[in-house]
């Protein structure tokens, strides 16, 4: 106890001195005296370098928060832009389809593609319309651009669409304006070939390809594609015509079924 008291007595002058210094600093910086204010400004200016690390840290913290806010706003704007682009594309497709429908007196049923893929060596889409909506086997299927395929299987609320890209798909078509006819089948990459076209037929690149009157299930004059090349066969009376499809099968999400058409 004696030692503790002695230690306190020894530290007392130091403690008193520190208290006096702190009190003096407080009085100096709280005084409104002109000289004191000048001294305060001078002191602050001389020791301003001590504040720089703290200011730098504060600035970095502010910038990081600002970057986070800007990144969040940028992500939100990107998402909104994607939604607007998607809506614009969908509206464009619907306008094209409505314009197509206005020119033809057919009964259409709209549907969404809910599954894409190859099943049992058959290129097919699964759509969300079936017999409850009036869909039947062999009904023609189109996009807003042109022919896509036909219905090959139907349940109450779903149907399977055989695509033009299936190796077994065949379609009777005609080439306008020559009215030359032939049988179309898939080749690759949106390209199809028309066989049994007479070598004497006047076919030119850019001619339009439509469904013909000889098709069993498709009504005539549905858009299919346009001619991109013509190949004569030296050992045949026919030539092969290649066309590019109007419908891009890789980007289709909405389809339209023509119902109640005449056919076998």
Q: Kindly report, residue by residue over 74-123, the tens digit of the pLDDT.
A: 666 665 665 566 556 666 666 666 666 565 667 888 899 998 865 545 68
Per-position DSSP letters for 92-112, written without gaps between them: HHHHHHHHHHHTS--EEEEEE
Q: Is residue 158 part of a domain?
A: no
Task: Give the separation between CA 194 and CA 123, rounded to whole angstroms.
Answer: 20
Examine residue 43 and state whether it is found in any structural domain, yes or no.
Answer: no
What is the DSSP code string of the chain?
-HHHHHHHHHHHHHHHHHHHHHHHHHHHHH---HHHHHHHHHHHHHTGGGTHHHHHHHHHHHHHHHHHHHHHHHHHHHHHHHHHHHHHHHHHHHHHHHHHHHTS--EEEEEEEEEEEEETTEEEEEES--GGGT--TT-EEE-SSSEEEEEEEE-SS-EEEEETTSTT--EEEEEETTTEEEEEEEEETTEEEEEEEETTS---TT-EEEE-TT-SSSPTT-EEEEEEEEEE-TTSSEEEEEEEESS-TTS--EEEEEES----
Number of domains in the chain: 2
Residue 237 inside a domain? The answer is: yes
pLDDT tens by residue, 10-52? 555 666 667 766 666 655 555 555 555 565 555 555 555 555 6
In this structure, is residue 124 part of a structural domain?
A: no
Q: What is the pLDDT of residues 153-208, one digit of tens each?
A: 999 999 999 999 998 999 999 999 999 999 999 998 899 999 999 989 999 999 99
Q: What is the pLDDT of residues 161-175, one digit of tens each?
A: 999 999 899 999 999
Asked if residue 75 belongs to a domain, the reply is yes
| Residue 10 counted as domain residue | no
Is 14 inside any structural domain? Answer: no
For the CA atoms of 201, 224, 137, 161, the dihedral, rounded to the nearest 10 degrees, stands at 130
- Would 82 be classed as within a structural domain? yes
CATH number at residue 220: 2.40.10.350
Domain that holds residue 79: 53-103
């Amino acid at each position: 106890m004696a030692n503790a008291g002695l230690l306190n007595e020894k530290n007392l002058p130091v403690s008193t001195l520190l208290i006096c210094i702190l009190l003096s600093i407080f009085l100096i910086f709280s005084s409104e005296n002109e000289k004191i204010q000048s001294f305060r400004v001078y002191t602050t200016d001389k020791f301003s370098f001590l504040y720089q690390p703290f200011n730098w840290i504060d600035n970095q913290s502010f910038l990081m928060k600002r970057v986070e806010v800007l990144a969040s706003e940028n992500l939100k704007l990107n998402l909104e832009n994607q939604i607007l682009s998607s809506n614009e594309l969908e509206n464009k497709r619907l306008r094209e389809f409505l314009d197509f429908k206005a020119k033809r007196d057919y009964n259409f049923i709209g549907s969404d593609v809910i599954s894409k893929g190859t099943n049992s060596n058959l290129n097919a889409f699964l759509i969300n319309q079936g017999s409850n909506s009036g869909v039947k086997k062999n009904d023609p299927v189109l996009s807003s651009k042109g022919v896509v395929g036909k219905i090959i299987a139907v349940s109450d609320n779903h149907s399977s669409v055989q695509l033009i890209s299936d190796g077994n798909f065949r379609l009777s078509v005609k080439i306008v304006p020559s009215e030359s006819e032939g049988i179309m089948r898939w080749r690759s990459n949106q390209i199809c070939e028309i066989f049994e076209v007479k070598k004497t037929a006047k076919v030119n690149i850019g001619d339009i390809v439509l469904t013909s009157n000889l098709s069993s299930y498709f009504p005539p004059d549905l858009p299919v594609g346009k001619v991109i090349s013509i190949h004569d066969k030296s050992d045949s009376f026919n030539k092969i015509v290649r066309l590019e499809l109007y419908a891009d099968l890789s980007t289709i999400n909405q389809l339209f079924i023509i119902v109640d058409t005449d056919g076998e």
